[in-house]
Chain A
Amino acid sequence: MMPKHQQNLRAVRRTIGLGTVCALLVAVSAIFQSRAFAPAVMAASTPSFSADVAPILQKNCLGCHSSSVHKSGLILESYSSLIKGGKHGQPVLPHDAKGSLIVQMLEGDIGPQMPVNADPLPDSDIDRIKAWINAGAEGPVVTEAALPLIAPSIPEIQPDVAVVSPVTSAKFSPDGKLLALGGYRQVRLIDPASGNVIATLSGHANYVRSLAFSPDGKLLAAAGGSPQLEGEIKVWDLQSRQVLKTLTGHKDCIYSIAWSPDGKLIASGSYDKMVKLWDVAAGREAMNLQDHIDAVFAVEFSPDGKRLASASQDRTVKIWDVATGKRLYTLSDALDGLTGIAFSPSGDQVAAAGYDKTIYVWQLAAGDGHLVQSLIADEDSLLALAWSPDGKTIVTASADGSIRFRNPKLDLVGVIDKQLDWVEALDISPDGKWLAAGRYNGTFSLYDLKTLKDLGGPRKVFDSLKPHNGNEGKETARR
């Protein structure tokens, strides 16, 4: 009927009307926003990638476009990766800033406006990028096309109270005569029998989060690095107590290293999702094993050195062929991130544990592995795992404050509970006599594996750092 049609007509008209108004508004705002009217910002000299563009990208874009996150396949860590582009093509068209995707997205002409979840860049920054593109988008003068790491300026804040470094790693030497304990920027070498400090190795970038002795016991690798900046492995000569090599290449700190049984390789797993194999003699990266999609918290060589197992926050264990660097297969039974991994001494099984409170044991075959045991083992996350040299015991440390001992069928055979703090550093001596447990509160204990007795009680490892203003008394405020 008529009125109905009239109504529809009116609705249509209203829509058209609105559309027109919108279009007008867009046009008007486009004129106002058009940078044709903005005062031209021209650098006196030719704009430089390193000086003008890199700092802007570094500061605003790397949260999502780093080699570890790479949203839309785009990595903005270096000139070459910027020019290469991502899923949506090349972001930069030299000499055509207006036509460059990076400019269009920074200005919001193409959504989503970058950076996502943050204020748009100031016009001055965008103008600098445009000027650089219009000048030809030249790369950095140095041949190394990587972005120089710009040391962020960090204010100086002193602790108000005395603080002690957590014990972040523990490792017995192959002959069992040394126990290395890692902490903040240093490693302590201890005689496990007496508890005496033998040496302190310092100069590390941050926490030493993993330690590995060379099979002959002459070298010690200490790994760590600064979160989200760089991973670092220092190879120490234990005789001279000199750093022989410093291996860098990971883009985030390293959580785990292992030394190959033949002594030639060090494997490392990092928060940057990469597993790397390092040629120790040459002091350089031999292979990059890329397949995990989240932080790698643990790596371990098989006893024969042919395979490498890695455990990750991505809930998987991956088994790699060391010779070729090929991933053989993935074990994906876990329900949450994995923190610890160990091979059985025979090498045919691998155990892992993590945040889902569960211990998993897989039987390994040539082409695949299958789960043979799994058990919800504790009331809270599992933080570390070790398999005794005689193959009879799997030891785990949990955030619930317990260290539990289980046989390979995961039956409970012993408990040490009421730990003073989280145990994230755990190692069994090669002769199977001792268990070393390093805690977040800076103490460690040496347990007799037979009696589960704490030999000598919890001991301090590192010196406590006194605040400059001498407020030591306030340490009681800490748990």
Chain B
Amino acid sequence: MEPRRFLLLVALAVGFTVSCALRGSMSGQTPSSPVGRSPSDSQYHSADMSKSASGGIASSNKAKTAPPTNQGDSSLALLAKIAILPSSISITGPRYSQRLLVEGTFADGHQEELTSRARIAISDAKIATADKDDVVFPQGDGQATVTVTVQGHRATAPLIVKDYSTASIWSFRNDVLPVMTKMGCNSGPCHGAAAGKNGFKLTLRGYDPNTDYYTLTHQALGRRTNPIEPARSLMLLKPTLTIPHGGGRRFDVGSPEYKVIAGWLAQGMPAPQDSDALVTDIQVLPREASLHPGARQQLIVTAIFSDGHIADVTRWAKYDSGDEGVATVDNNGRVVMHGYGEAPVTVWYQSHVAFSRLRIPFPYKVDDSIFLKAPRNNYIDDSILKHLRALHIPPSSLASDAEFMRRAYLDAAGILPSPSEVDRFMRDPAPDKRNRLVDDLMKRAEFIDYWAYKWSDLLLVSSNRLSNDEMWSYYHWIRDSVASNKPWNTFASQIVTATGKTLDNGAANYWVIHRDPLDTSENMAQAFLGINISCAHCHNHPLAKWTQKDYYGMANLFARVRLKTSAPSGFRPAVGPLFNDVTVYSAPTGEFMDDRLMIPLPPKPLDASALSSEAPGDTRLYFAKWLTSPENPYFARNIVNRVWRNFMGRGLIEPVDDLRDTNPATNDELLNALVKDFVAHNFDMDYLIRTIMQSATYQASSRPLKDNADDDKYGSHFVVRRLPAEVLLDAYSQVTQVPEKFDGYPAGMRGMQLPDTAVKSYFLTAFGRPLRQQTRESERTSVPTVTQALHIINGDTLNNKLRAPDNSVDMLLRLGFTDEQIVDYLYMASFSRHPTDSERKSLVDALATAAHEKIPGVDDARRAALIDLSWALLTGKEFMFNH
């Protein structure tokens, strides 16, 4: 039997209705699907789908450009209050100054920078004076008050000047290097390159001040600096282009940059000292603001040093906008606002990071009552609604019971609800039935399968590097952990400290997969902290605070792990299964000699204090304690973010394996609250899952409103996404009632129950199953491909199931269902809903016509038509997507 011969007929009949149904349920996701397009048109890989299918990789520039308002002339009539930033001013030493900002808040809640329109007065000119750019310069030690007035509004800030008459020494670490970093001298493409440039090599972004000091002063016989005639130093001649410089002009003679370097040279080039004050924190002001389109906002950055002094480093900080469609920022920290939405502007100074969250609320008139009346099931909704309200984005209404049910089953257990379950749930009048559904779902074996599979992805369970028995041992350990709802800290800790035989203690297999301290260290950070430290292998991490020493110190924690086999020694392949059953243990001593620094560094979890290299015992215990500590800022955050992504299609931080400080969350307040709650509940995974599923945010409809269609990350509506490979395949098996048979596994075993991703399956590979070779979320892809389209249309996975004897079509025929009942059943089984009246009518009509068609070679035209109908439903967007 060849179903495709009826394809056109049925597709034409079904196509319109299914398209309509889809458009009904997902309007906005399919903005212009041409009428009459059939589901066989492989809609799921058409252009508009690719966006929704791309999951977390949301386009950042989708914000519409907002028309600028004429800010310069804007009326101050509605000005509610003004504030001075910073709210208290502290200047230490004669060389430093502090720039001031005057920020106005208006009656409607928006802010404007009013510095240029403000009058600034300092109570005592002997303490400090302000110049025309509102920069405050110290004049003598003491205290004074800064008063600012704008159209009758007034604000004051205390000012203190210290150490004015103390001669100050230019610091290589805190003055010279920041200038060079800001000017790009030590950036990757310039002298920070591994090979340097033109014989002159600096450490990347100045991570090693000592080396840079010697390179500049001592190396090549004082070539670059000249303390006797400072102005003749190449360090000044080249960046000012007084003599040719391949890197062009970086600053001018007489500029502040020039003055810093010339000042340091003239002071005899003082070397960096261990006693130098270090930056302990930086602050950016304003921390957040709601601005108008076209608004200009200066940022100011202050650094707090270990000796307690504070300095205005606005000129030496580096700036980057998290969303250039919303805000752009120049090299001096001047922001221009463009489009609606929120942009975190990242500020970087001496490896410290801070954000200013600047937004333009969407131009929608959203009545406050919408936010007040919106359903709130728990704190998640409070936080999401607060954020949406600030952005003027209205939330979509709740999804229907049927939509919620299908979504919950797919996201938490990887299965579809059966038609009878759907029916029962839709009839259930209990007001708490959604919460009960979540609870019941979490008791199911499929729930355990689903999460065991997810953590197996994370922990790279596969026969690539484990023997078959070991793989099962590892998988069962994970599955048992999920089944007993093992707290995540215990789960991680047991892996990190695992010892014993790999067949007895499944967790010990982690150590068979990760045999090299560097690999182990990188994987630990990636899997359990969501951070990538591999940059620090060769140099300090350019975007995060991790140094090369942190990297090697951490690796040394894993230097004592040993594997023992009963087989002859000396055989240890780098990849592939080692042996069946290995004993993992920790040697009492041992250090890892790294390949670069050539000296073992004391074992040290990234930002914790180091153990003594001589301390005997299993250093992993120390690591585990640090890792799973409630104070560890990344451990809980990583898993909460990953679980959030499972349900929302997008992490609060994206990508989920990149939790560095320079990668801000879309809703930091919510993420912090979730983390706090999760830790307070003792890392209870089921509690976390339940909390997210119970929220009205998770239960929101996927139908966008006119005013929230542009939002793909703030939680105003559910973001549709393609089913993961295994879930999709299992769903085909479930609906067609034809189980999949995987090589080496019993028939009926679902894709989600496999312990291994090395199992051959064309379908799973085509739909983006990960290889489990590297812990990386992007190993699993949801990118639509032509292969997927062709496989669904012509391939043998779905088509064989539809042709197989005793499949769902045969069952329906055997039961003697009417066309109407059949259409109803198929809708319930595939979409977890009843067909609409018009869908039902047109399909019943089409079936009636098709059943009487005479086609050569086809005995049972009705059966063929039913197969085509099933095919049409199962290849449509409504089926293949979670919505």
Contacts and interface: CB of A to CB of B under 8 A. Distances in A.
Given A59-B244, A255-B220, A159 B268 contact: yes
A261 B36 CA distance: 96
Contacts of B269: 478
A329 interface: no
A227 B228 contact: no
B244 A58 contact: yes
Contacts of B220: 255, 271, 295, 297
A429 interface: no
B227 interface: yes
A18 to B, nearest CB: 15
Nearest to B253: A155
Interface in A411-436: 421-422, 424
Interface string A339-352: 00000000000000
Contacts of A226: 232
B244 A66 contact: yes
Interface in B210-241: 214, 217-218, 220-224, 226-232, 234, 237-238, 241
A153 B231 contact: no
A477 B221 contact: no
Contact of A4 (B41, B241, B244, B267): B41
Interface in A155-183: 155-163, 165-166, 168
A475 B214 CA distance: 19
Nearest to B213: A479
Interface residues of B, number: 49
Interface string A39-67: 00000000000000000001111111010
Nearest to B227: A163
Contacts of B224: 227
Nearest to A162: B268
B248 interface: yes
Interface in B254-279: 254, 262, 265-271
A143 interface: no
A157 B265 contact: yes
B199 A295 contact: yes
Contacts of B218: 399, 421-422, 424, 440
Given A228-B244, A271-B220, A159 B228 contact: yes
A255 B199 CA distance: 14
A24 interface: no
Interface in B571-591: none
B243 interface: yes
A168 B266 contact: no
A276 interface: no
Nearest to B262: A157
A61 B249 CA distance: 12
Contact of A478 (B214, B254, B270): B270
A268 interface: no
B199 A399 contact: no
Contacts of B223: 227, 253, 271
Contacts of B34: 3, 6
Contacts of A7: 46-47
Contacts of B680: none
A365 to B, nearest CB: 31
Contacts of A153: 242
B198 interface: yes
A313 interface: yes
A209 B268 contact: no
A479 B267 CA distance: 12
Contacts of A456: none
B243 A3 contact: no
Given A3-B41, A156-B231, A161-B268, A117 B246 contact: yes
B221 A207 contact: yes
Interface in A373-395: none
A63 B34 CA distance: 59
B247 interface: yes
Interface string B401-439: 000000000000000000000000000000000000000
Nearest to B40: A1
B227 A399 contact: no
B268 A477 contact: yes
B169 interface: yes
Interface in A215-260: 226-229, 253, 255
Nearest to A471: B167
A168 to B, nearest CB: 5
Interface string A439-479: 01000000000000000000000000100000000110111
A477 B172 CA distance: 12
Nearest to B242: A152
Interface in B765-806: none
A73 B169 CA distance: 45
B228 A163 contact: yes
B691 interface: no
B266 A154 contact: no
Contact of B268 (A115, A155, A163, A229): A163
Contacts of B37: 3
Contacts of A421: 218
A190 B62 CA distance: 75
Given A69-B198, A271-B220, A154 B242 contact: yes
B38 interface: yes
A168 B228 contact: no
Interface string A51-89: 000000011111110100100000000000000000000
Interface string B447-479: 000000000000000000000000000000000
A366 interface: no
A118 interface: yes
B95 interface: no
B245 to A, nearest CB: 5
A320 interface: no
A107 interface: no
A184 interface: yes
Nearest to A61: B244
A316 B271 CA distance: 32
16 contacts: A1-B41, A69-B198, A117-B246, A159-B227, A159-B267, A160-B266, A161-B267, A165-B228, A166-B222, A207-B222, A228-B237, A295-B199, A297-B220, A440-B222, A478-B271, A479-B271
Given A117-B248, A156-B231, A207-B222, 17 more contacts: A6-B34, A61-B244, A62-B243, A63-B247, A118-B249, A154-B232, A155-B231, A155-B254, A159-B228, A163-B268, A165-B228, A166-B222, A209-B221, A227-B224, A424-B221, A477-B268, A479-B270
A-B pairs with lowest CB-CB distance, top 3:
A118-B248, A62-B244, A63-B246
